[in-house]
Amino acid sequence: MENHRIADIFDEIADVLELQDESVFRIRSYRRGARAIRDLPEDVRTLVERGELLKVPGIGKSLTEKVEEILGTGTSEFYEKIKKAPEYKLLPLLRIPGVGPRHAIQFYRVLGIVTVDDLEEAARAGRLHDLERMGEKLEERILKGIEQYRRRTGRFRLAEGMLHAEAVAAKVGKLKGVTRIDIAGSCRRMKETIGDIDILVISKSAKKVMDVFTSMKSVSEVIARGATKSSVLLEAGIQVDLRVLRRENYGAALHYFTGSKDHNVAIRDRAKRRGLRVSEYGVFNVETAERLGGASEEEVFAALGLPFIPPELRENSGELEAADEGRLPRLVEAGDIKGDLHMHTTATDGRNTPREMAVAARRLGYRYVAITDHSKAVRVAGGLDAEELRAHIEAIRKANKEVDGIEILAGVEVDIMKDGGLDLPDDVLRQCDVVIAAVHSGFNMPEARMTRRILKALENENVNILAHPTGRLIGEREPYEVDIEAVIAAARKCGVALELNAFPDRLDLKDVHCRAAREAGVKISIGTDAHAVAHLANMRYGVGTARRGWCEAGDILNAMTLPKLRKFLARRRRDRAKPGV
């Protein structure tokens, strides 16, 4: 398999050289070399050992030396240098159908686009088509290309999976004879990524369900079609399994297909200890074969002496013990959320005005929102300096007077600089109702330094919330290295809330960290980081993640009433202002 690896290295080198606008001859020589090695009928190592690599057409002296170096050391000095070039980070863009090197480098230089997500956002916002050598058609093609690219890359983000699952469920659920339909699996557990989609149905006419399910427009391939179970591959690349079940088994099946595997194993163990057997068909007494239930999930749990355990908790991470001892949390629900404390507007990189955001939030039943645009360090977003923020605060106050039925809080998402200082002076931060602090650059520092940086920012008395505390982008960027326990402890000490950023590619804090924060007594602010009215709807993924983190309404900052929230926000500054405190 060394042939492929070496060929891939040469291709990557050629890609980067192309992005760097290097000589065509050099680029071509790496490409030709890659192809020659990939097509070799035998192991490149044996060819080298026989001293015959130079005889292969397309491989000159310089490439032969590189091959020998890679075979000897596992890499080559030149390749390591290439990997450090800024253009190397752009390589995923080249794998998107429709994006060539000239475009990739143009996107990077003109718009600062590095990741596939950046590109998608820019294309959706219509920021590409006015560039040189672009146009609306090409922009559309790139969006399609991104879809195809994602299809090839395994697991899907929860939001994407959920939307597909709900589209299928809506279509099938409408059919006559369907009396119940559920999305099971990791979607139901609100896991941050999902592998495939499981849908369960009760229907008098299974045939009709299967007909409709397998012939939906969104289906690219029918993998299997049976009387009670069919599987399809959607054009988006997600597999969907649909089962038609009998009413008396439904609860057992729903429990079984919701998982997780670990939870199901723990459930079966518990059953065994009680002389019972649990399967997707029900709960049975092993000795008498008597069926103890299975029509509903409640029946399944009750047969095992347990109360209902919400799907989000089913990870075998203590939920059985808690259920057994009657100390399951009363998980936060969508209806508990009273506002959204993180969003952007046209003042920076958002698409709507504060007034439009507030009106949309009011429609969601919220009592308050905070407008939190970027500070000046986020140059690509047109971040605000102190003067601009002052004017923006005034504009927000004005909008607040004009819009009834919802309170618009003036805020900012201020950058945490590399030394832990904030991007804006205290006097302007003090004028904000809400200050969110966030790391948007300098991700690659060692853990100790990053932790110090964040703790220093939390000590600023004007900071209320730490945004997306680990900086990860699901499937795109690992979290930066930070001692999250130290951050949680500091947040508690300083009276700062940690954010659970509900943007689908962030979900940061993630579930287990939410649980740790809650246990430490730190409030969690579920913010959508909406850059447009439509993004406000992402709150559900934040709530789902908070539920996976065992959070109750009382743990959530934006489940507070407005007066309580105001108290929380003002407390820090007041405490500091009092001498001796």
Cβ at position 128, least distance to Zn ion in Å:
22
Q: Residue 105 or residue 111: which is nearer to Zn ion going by CB?
A: 111
Cβ at position 502, least distance to Zn ion in Å:
11
Q: Residue 349 or residue 552: which is nearer to Zn ion going by CB?
A: 349
Q: Residue 235 or residue 356: which is nearer to Zn ion going by CB?
A: 356
Cβ at position 114, least distance to Zn ion in Å:
15
| Residues listed for the chain | 581
Q: Residue 69 or residue 121: which is nearer to Zn ion going by CB?
A: 121
Cβ-in-10-Å burial (0-12, 13-18, 19+) of 165 comes to buried
Q: Which residues bind Zn ion (CB under 5 A)?
A: 413, 438, 467, 529
Q: Residue 231 or residue 352: which is nearer to Zn ion going by CB?
A: 352
Rounded to whole angstroms, what are the CA distances from 194 to 160, 162, 201, 483?
9, 9, 20, 27
Q: Residue 438 or residue 494: which is nearer to Zn ion going by CB?
A: 438
Q: Residue 239 or residue 441: which is nearer to Zn ion going by CB?
A: 441
Cβ at position 104, least distance to Zn ion in Å:
24
For 126, the token pair is 């219509």
Place of tokens 């439904």: 250
**What three-state secondary structure class fits 84?**
helix
Q: Report how far residue 21's alpha carbon sits from residue 16's, in angstroms, rounded to the nearest whole number.
A: 9
Cβ at position 427, least distance to Zn ion in Å:
23
CA neighbours closer than 13 Å in the CB half-sphere of residue 565: 24
Cβ at position 374, least distance to Zn ion in Å:
7
Q: Report how far residue 8's alpha carbon sits from residue 21's, in angstroms, rounded to the nearest whole number.
A: 20
Q: Residue 66 or residue 468: which is nearer to Zn ion going by CB?
A: 468
- DSSP collapsed to 3 states, 130-172: CCCCCCHHHHHHHHHHHHHHHHCCCCEEHHHHHHHHHHHHHHH
Reading across the β-sheet that carries 239-245, which strands appear in turn?
A: 178-183, 197-203, 239-245, 229-234, 219-225
Burial per residue of 383-392, b for 16 or more beta-carbon CB atoms within 10 angstroms, e otherwise: bbeeebbeeb
Its sign, for the CA torsion 222, 224, 228, 234, is: negative
Q: Nearest-CA neighbor of 558 among 501, 491, 520?
A: 501
Cβ at position 468, least distance to Zn ion in Å:
6
Cβ at position 255, least distance to Zn ion in Å:
38
